[in-house]
Chains A and B, each alone.
Chain A
Amino acid sequence: MSRHKITMTVNDVEVTREIESRNLLVHFIREDLSLTGTPIGCDTTSCGACTVLVNGRAIKSCTMFAVQANGATIETIEGVAQNGDLHPLQQGFWEKHGLQCGYCTPGMIMSAKHLLAENPNPSEEEIRWGISGNLCRCTGYNKIVEAIRYAADKLAEGDGEGTEETSA
């Protein structure tokens, strides 16, 4: 078993830790960095609850080793609001009731953030396909779709914080 010293930028903060090679990125984020906003929902890369952005791309952090993220830029749900201002996606989820128990919400928001970065004006169909790697058991998805559409409109208006993908 090898141990590795890794350095990465997480939510604009550079962190360095020594870890076991087998440490999953999600455990590293939750345990080593105490960023518990990224939860775990399954073992089979199915649910997307643990979604974070690695170098701007939404990935399931349960299916990547922390050591693989050495040198990467990572954004978790804790880094989405900037200077105390909610990101349009966060506003959208709140306004449109895009969450209930809140457990899938961070993953949904991170997925949606990547989706909107690639496709700023998605149709309902594109939103549904875009979040199809994230399971929600509470909402029935209607209001999540509305929340993401709300954010797309806000971002298009240009008064949102998230128009620039700083982590890309």
Chain B
Amino acid sequence: MTHLEDRFEQHSPKPEGVSAKVAAVDEIQVKTPVEVCGMGHRMKRKEDPRFIQGKGNYVDDVKLPGMLYMDIVRSPYAHAKIVSIDDSEALATPGVLAVIKGEDLKAAGNLHWMPTLMSDTQMVLPIDKVIYYAQEVCAVVATERYIAADAIEKIVVEYEPLDAVVDPHEAMKDKVIVRDDKEKQTNHIWHWEAGDEQATDKVFAEAAHVVEQKMYLPRLHVSSIETCGMVANYNKVTEHMQIYMTSQAPHAHRTVFALVSGLPEHKIQIISPDIGGGFGGKVPVYPGYVVCAVASLLTGAPVKWIEDRSENLQADSFARDYHIDAKMACDAEGRITGLKVKTLADCGAADAAANPSKFPAGLYSICTGSYDMKAAHVEVDGVYTTKPPGGVAYRCSFRVTEAVHMIERMTDIMAREVGTDPAEFRRKNFIRDFPYKSPTGWEYDSGNYEGALDKAMQSIGYDELRREQAEKRERGELMGIGISSFTEVVGAGPSRDYDILGIKMFDSAEIRIHPTGKAIARFGTKSQGQGHETTYAQIIAEELGLPAADVQVEEGDTDTAPYGLGTYASRSTPTAGAAGAMAARKIKAKAKKIAAYLLEVGEDDLEWNISQFQVKGSPEQAKTIQEIAFAAYTNHPPGMEAGLEATDYYDPPNLTFPFGSYICVVDIDKGTGEVKVRRFVAIDDCGHIINPMIVEGQIEGGLTMGLAPALFEEIVYDENGQNLTGTFADYLLPTAVESPKWETGHTITPSPHHPLGAKGVGESPTVGAPPAIVNAVVDALAHLGVKHLEIPITPEKVWKVLREAGVTD
């Protein structure tokens, strides 16, 4: 088994000083019996029977009578004027019903442009020019998928190529203007700062050590195995628009559709059915969705549009693409004192990131990480280039990965500068007192960074590995050990600061308990594999004592679920999970009144025990939640409303700050430059754990998605802006062979403000893993003078530094 808990407990002596504390908080709380399956139970997932039998229902599985198919013509240029579009041959093809062009959308009410989630604008279909490779140019609607595919080959578009601008540093020179539709003829979009510049300059002036490193976090693509797609079904008689859509945020999308199209919001129903992975890529509204909906409006028939993989990789929203210049200051005692960061954010052809409105660079200013320092200053500039728009997460919370990569690399670089082991250096600089106010304005809710690091070091046998490394180095073998002690920031977020297009980032739950004690619970989020149907049921089981098996969880249908902002940025448990607990508590309050009535005692005489209210001192006098539910419909107190249900819209008081310590061991082939991850221990702390099995799964999956950018994945463009990695043959997702056997474990430091003490976990590993891997590779090569390597660390990059250092095989 890969879970470390048992091994750790049995074989690892606990270090002086931390043992009691760590051991005390490691145990997963289980308060309910297995029949109830509340928090802490490894409950098998309720959603799985349909998936393991091929009965999932993804968008491409939706088939409606009379359904038409849409396919899209895309630009072969990154930047070009459109001279003409000749669709005559396509329209003459039997089975082709329509070709939709930019002009058609304009005529339909200026639908050729749409707002992005960052209040920028983005073309739906172009009229004058295209501004990125694979941009949607026009769409064909046909009776069959194959006919639509044939028809797009018959559309002749004449282009006049313009210069592309692929590098954001070049773009800042404004020689090629990407967005000539804008009033200001510049590629510079925004400038954003956090922290105190003067205070930071002061600590740098006084520093004993300053290190600087430029680093690039390349463009990535989330590459969920299901691409994006839609079935739009407009009924011209009822004027009802039913949309099946690969959406991580169906409610927000409904509002955007209403605002853009002018259709009344109550006539739009968005159904996000089973989703084959999201990771942030199904948060934005893509042009294809809009065109598909318009196609249904025009034809009055259901229209299906499913991206193929190349369209998905080439045109859908990217992640990362941050060019970072970081400086760190440290005093003579080896304490980090300050951090200065300048960053160029390549936004592509529109700022279509999915950040909260006030945060154009997301939560990037969390970049002081797990370390206590006096001052920090962060600047980010957003810039247009002729590349696809985006800036979504890649299984991360709003640019936290970029921040963590930078600080964990800088910490290693500084540790080497001052000549301290990277573990010791981290330990010396950890934040210890919580809540902690960071120099860039964050209030960390809770943490025990040393506990996680200690556990990771013991689990992997850190000291022994260092000895092995020294021996191997003597023999000319290359082995490295890398650490990442990251802090995440998830659960956006409090309404005072967090909104998407003005809509506050609360989330919601509605629970109805039926007379026989079974329940339905609906949430404003939308699972894409996270297991909400199970986790949320367990939360309700924990609170109300109803067996989790008796709670049906539903999400994703905007006609039935309460309004919520959706699932991304590890926000579901911190927001909707909390809403579920709060709604359950409202129900419990009413249940108590009913129980008091039934037992003919005062409410103060009652106490709660797992699944029943019982009279204090005489527990045999009790009413179970099921009995209370029945009474709520059959025998409720006079003057009280019947029924047992509640809704909660939860506005979190703060974000939550999960953290962890990861240690990676790599071996490097000095002949080929190949890096092999030999071991990887991940100790995560996400507060109280609802379902340990699901948490392990989230962490293991996130680790592979952290391995991917560290060693394999990158979207590459040539100088003309053409995507060179537009298929899975070149955009390299790790298989089970490249992905090592992950070793996971946890500490538990509850969030003080979350009703369940939980924090959110799905993305921590994606955030924390890449710097651990890079730090390990650099560690293996450090004696050769290597200070930094850019990701992905390809065999060639390693080979190059080896040969430059005169190492060969």
Genuine A/B complex: yes
Binds B, one of A64-72, A127-135, A155-163: A127-135
Nearest residue in B to A128 (C-beta to C-beta)?
B736
Bound CA–CA A77/B735 (angstroms): 21
The answer to whether residues A44 and B728 also contact, given A94-B45, A94-B49 and a CB cut-off of 8 A, is yes
Which residues from chain A contact B47 at a C-beta distance below 8 Å? Answer: 102
CB within 8 Å for A141 and B529 given contacts A43-B310, A99-B52: no
A95 to B43, CA, bound (A): 9
Instruction: Tell me which of A31, A42, A105, A142 has the highest count of chain B C-beta atoms within 10 A of its own C-beta.
Output: A142
Question: Among the listed B51, B53, B530, B702, which residue makes an inter-chain contact with A78, where contact means beta carbons less than 8 Å apart?
Answer: B53
Given contacts A80-B53, A128-B736, A132-B737, contact A138 B277 (CB under 8 A): yes
Is B697's CB under 8 angstroms from A97's CB? yes
For this complex, into which size category does the number of interface residues on chain A fall?
35 or more
- A37-B704 contact in complex given A43-B308, A94-B49, A136-B225, C-beta closer than 8 Å: no
The 4 tightest CB contacts between A and B, nearest first, are A37-B54, A101-B529, A102-B51, A103-B276
Which residue on chain A has the smallest CB distance to residue B313?
A42
Q: Are A97 and B277 in contact (CB under 8 A)?
A: no
Residues of A within 8 A of B741 (CB): 124, 142, 145
Q: Is B60 close to A, CB under 8 A?
A: yes
Known A44-B309, A44-B727; contact A39-B48, beta-carbon cutoff 8 A = no
Which residues of A sit under 8 angstroms from B308, Cβ to Cβ?
43
A85-131 residues with Cβ-Cβ distance < 8 A to B are 86, 90, 93-95, 97, 99-106, 109, 124, 127-129, 131
B779 near A: Cβ within 8 Å?
no
CA distance A131 to B737 in the complex (A): 8
A27 and B145 form a contact (CB under 8 A): yes
A109 to B60, CA, bound (A): 20
Instruction: Name 18 extra pairs, CB < 8 A, besides A37-B56, A129-B737.
Output: A38-B54, A41-B226, A41-B227, A44-B727, A47-B225, A86-B53, A99-B529, A100-B277, A100-B698, A101-B274, A101-B275, A102-B47, A104-B225, A136-B225, A137-B224, A137-B701, A138-B277, A140-B705
Q: B694 → chain A, closest Cβ, in Å?
A: 7
Q: Per a CB cutoff under 8 Å, which of B55, B529, B693, B733 touches A135? A: B733
Complex CA–CA separation, A46 to B729 (angstroms): 7
Q: How far is the CB of B658 from chain A (nearest CB, A)?
A: 17
Q: How far is the CA of A35 from the CA of B54 in the complex (A)?
A: 8
Q: Is the pair A137, B146 in contact by a Cβ cutoff of 8 Å?
A: no
Give A43-82 as 1s and 0s: 1 = Cβ < 8 Å from B's Cβ atoms.
1101101000000000000000000000000001110110
Contact B736 A103 (CB under 8 A): no
Report the bound CA distance from A122 to B727 in whole Å. 31
Query: In the docked arrangement, what's the CA distance between A81 and B729, Å?
Result: 33
Contacts between the two chains (Cβ within 8 Å), count: 184
A36 within 8 A of B: yes
B45-67 CB mask vs A (1 if < 8 Å, else 0) is 10111111111111011010000
Q: Let me know if A140 and B742 touch, CB within 8 A.
A: yes
Looking at the complex, which one of B44, B274, B728 makes contact with A102 (CB distance below 8 Å)? B274
Give the distance in Å from the alpha carbon of A136 to the alpha carbon of B51 in the complex. Answer: 14
- Give A159 Cβ to nearest chain B Cβ, in Å: 18
Q: How far is the CB of A97 from chain B (nearest CB, A)?
A: 5
Please indicate the chain A residues that have their CB under 8 angstroms from the CB of B735 in the complex. 128, 131-135, 141
16 contacts between A and B (CB under 8 A): A47-B225, A78-B54, A80-B53, A86-B53, A94-B45, A97-B694, A99-B51, A103-B56, A103-B224, A109-B52, A132-B735, A135-B733, A137-B224, A140-B700, A141-B739, A143-B700
Interface of A is mostly: loop
**B528 an interface residue at 8 Å Cβ cutoff?**
yes
Q: Is the CB of B63 within 8 A of A44?
A: no
- Distance between A24 CB and nearest chain B CB, rounded to angstroms: 10
Q: Is there a chain B Cβ closer than 8 Å to A139's Cβ? A: yes
**A34–B60 alpha-carbon span in the complex (Å):** 11
- Closest-CB distance, A126 to chain B (whole angstroms): 11
In the complex the two chains form, is B61's CB within 8 Å of A102's CB? no
A14–B310 CA distance with the chains assembled, in angstroms:
35
| A137/B56 in contact, CB under 8 A | no
Q: Which residues 696-712 in B have Cβ within 8 Å of A in the complex?
A: 696-705
